[in-house]
Amino acid sequence: MSPTSERTVLTGARVVLPDGVAEDAVLTVEGRRIAGNVPGERPTFELGGHWIVPGFVDLHVHGGGGASFSSGTAEEALKVVATHRRHGTTTMVASTVTGELSDLAQQAAALSELAEQGDLAGVHFEGPFISAARCGAHDPELLRDPDPTEVRKLVDAARGTARMMTLAPELPGGLESVRMLADSGVIAAVGHTDSTYEATAQAVEAGASVATHLFNAMPALGHRAPGPVAALLEDERVTVELINDGTHLHPAALELAFHRAGADRVAFITDAMGAAGMGDGVYPLGPLEVEVRDGVARLTEGGSIAGSTLTLDEAFRRAVTVDGLPVEDAVRALSAVPARLLGVADRTGSLEAGKDADLVVLDEALSVVGVMRRGEWAVRPDAG
């Protein structure tokens, strides 16, 4: 240990480690990194009756705290980050919403600066290269086919921080764009699609590796036309996103996804818009207007579900208490799986010595009472 590094010792909690749950454990943080278990140290925080889990990793989030990544301003983007961090998300990818290509390029450039300084893990373009038949809360007037040249322009606008793009592979240029993204190291995600089973399987062969909010904004699973759901669930190369808020998915659909894909291929996301962490009311979502009522976000015109007001601590709590998932499986879906997909599993996503000290402290009811990111408390366990 460096003589100038700060040591934090957490004792007495149940700690979720890669190989299981350690009861009454000691977890030591030195500087920004996890130092491992050091028994006999005087505790800085005595956390008997609590859980310590890895910091949550959100692959797909648009906003929160009344702010949106689509604003294109650092001030609003940092407000989104701060809102979700209080709920345990220590790593997040900023998701945009369908807009004019020039506007999306400007948003990507602004967000890339925050990614370069470590506030974000990158940029996710959701639209405009999606199906008008499954556009959901995306403005249909702004949709376009995925011309690889235009896809490349958006990727380049993010200056090396583009992490994922959601597109409909059945559209003209779709498969070529999937190949180009995969070759460029950008995750090609299948979503907002009217694709068939066969066309989806072709997209996976071309390099698509994520299902954007599986089941939502795509044809339903059918016994004669299994559609994209079956193709994405059955292929071991695909990670499936799930929005576990009780609105987007029936518990049986979530159980099906875990049973078929397995815990190592499921990533919980929020798909949250600006109302996350706020109350009911009217909020913007890109160029569209959304009304939130009883915590459910819908377009004011047409009534389509418009993202969510979810935070990942709520997704975790629901997974364990309502869906009956083992804590270890819920932790994988919130941390390890998305961290691996983003290529940052060497730094975060699990509580192991040498990794960043990204962690969440939960009470017996699985409510957040502490959040640490890179060794610094965003929420202190003794704050209340």
Q: pLDDT tens digits, residue range 79-88?
A: 999 999 999 9
The amino acid at residue 32 is R
Q: What is the pLDDT of residue 106?
A: 97
H helices within the chain, ranges in order?
74-85, 101-116, 148-157, 174-183, 197-206, 227-234, 251-261, 312-321, 327-331, 337-342
Query: In this model, does residue 37 exceed pLDDT 70?
Result: no
Catalytic center residues: 271
Range name among 25-39, 259-273, 321-335 with the lowest pLDDT average:
25-39
How many domains, the chain?
2
Establish whether 224 is an annotated binding residue. Answer: yes
Q: Domain check: are 37 and 96 in the same one?
A: no
Q: What is the CATH number of the domain that holds 39?
A: 2.30.40.10
Query: In this model, does residue 4 exceed pLDDT 50?
Result: no
Residue 23's domain comprises 7-53+349-379
HSE-CB of 50 using CA atoms within 13 angstroms = 24
Distances (CA, A) of 269 to 47, 60, 181, 335: 28, 6, 22, 10
Q: Domain check: are 139 and 126 in the same one?
A: yes
Q: What is the pLDDT of residue 384?
A: 43
Task: Tell me whether residue 384 is in a domain.
Answer: no
Q: Domain check: are 131 and 246 in the same one?
A: yes
Q: Domain check: are 218 and 335 in the same one?
A: yes
Establish whether 305 is an annotated binding residue. Answer: yes
Q: Domain check: are 280 and 375 in the same one?
A: no
Query: In this model, does residue 366 exceed pLDDT 50?
Result: yes
Query: In this model, does residue 324 exceed pLDDT 70?
Result: yes
Q: Domain check: are 337 and 356 in the same one?
A: no
Q: Domain check: are 317 and 226 in the same one?
A: yes
d(CA 90, CA 374): 9
Establish whether 244 is an annotated binding residue. Answer: no
Task: Tell me whether residue 2 is in a domain.
Answer: no
Establish whether 213 is an annotated binding residue. Answer: yes
Query: In this model, does residue 330 exceed pLDDT 60?
Result: yes
Where is pLDDT greater, at 296 or 348?
348
Task: Tell me whether residue 189 is in a domain.
Answer: yes
Q: What would the mean pLDDT of 67-73 be, rounded to a whole number?
A: 93
Task: Tell me whether residue 1 is in a domain.
Answer: no
Query: In this model, does residue 2 exceed pLDDT 70?
Result: no
Six-digit token string for 337:
């799986």
Q: What is the pLDDT of residue 383?
A: 52
Distances (CA, A) of 332 to 48, 264, 298: 23, 7, 30
Q: What is the CATH number of the domain that holds 95?
A: 3.20.20.140
CA-nearest of 185, 137, 179 to 300 is 137
Range name among 37-51, 154-168, 175-189, 218-232 with the lowest pLDDT average:
37-51
Q: What is the pLDDT of residue 300?
A: 84
Q: What is the pLDDT of residues 119-158, one digit of tens each?
A: 999 999 999 999 999 998 899 999 999 999 999 999 999 9
d(CA 150, CA 152): 5
Q: Report the predicted TM-score, pTM, of the whole model to 2 decimal places.
A: 0.94
Beta-bridge partner residues of 26: 11
Establish whether 217 is an annotated binding residue. Answer: yes
Q: Domain check: are 121 and 143 in the same one?
A: yes
Strands 123-126 and 89-96: parallel
Q: What is the pLDDT of residues 40-54, one digit of tens each?
A: 556 789 999 999 999
Q: What would the mean pLDDT of 375-381 be, rounded to a whole number?
A: 96
Helix (H) or strand (E) holding 93: strand 89-96
